[in-house]
Structure 1
């Protein structure tokens, strides 16, 4: 799993899923250190730039947990990784609704009601054997193919670009 968020997302992972990487940005490091005092299993870094698209494209990344802006949705689709959305403000609520209700490529958790059981339920839905995660990955792959076709070598966008370049 790949977290790109504060400690909200990590609820429920300790004990259920010990293989994850948490990345945070800015002054949150001290908060996380305090909250996870003694939790040696938690692997995370504090950094200003993360090769997120490379991490999401890695075959061992099976879930992406974040607050969700639209660009993160695209990165997750390109990496073919199911999404757990924890929307916090503005467009993130709309994005998470699209991810779960319209496209079916992830699940959302409300930040004000997030709990250990809620996170475990979402993780089991994506990572478990129930087939939910498999269906999400199939839908993500179909969306990725639909997105990539126009920009491929024979796609309409590529042809238009070549025509415009020649003019």
Structure 2
């Protein structure tokens, strides 16, 4: 496991690339603005914690992290979830709360092992069909998003 002290790092440390057997990488609470191009080379990672940074996007090559089960990118500035996230078949938990995400890609529906998807406090305006179809198998947190319109099923409960 690698853990760097909060608030000291402005960029991803290049030295991490040398740790080819690394399973847990925790860089939360820094000032990192982007994940490095080499992120996909850390193929043994099972947990990637990059919460509480200033990251604006998730690199497409994150799909190369085939052993990743836990992905934490909470409290960043991410605006889009890449479709390639749907290729990460071992993911069981994704934490993307407190970002600027506006849409959930259909590719999320390909994650058959996913049990938790945290998307609270984003800019999501509608619940995608893929999440409706997955609702029996996973816990989805969409609190504090400007979701409109309210789904018909919920409206009927009010009557």
Q: TM-score, normalised by structure 2?
A: 0.30
Decide which structure has the larger Cα Rg and report it: 1
Structure number with higher relative contact order (C-alpha < 8 Å, ≥ 6 residues apart): 1
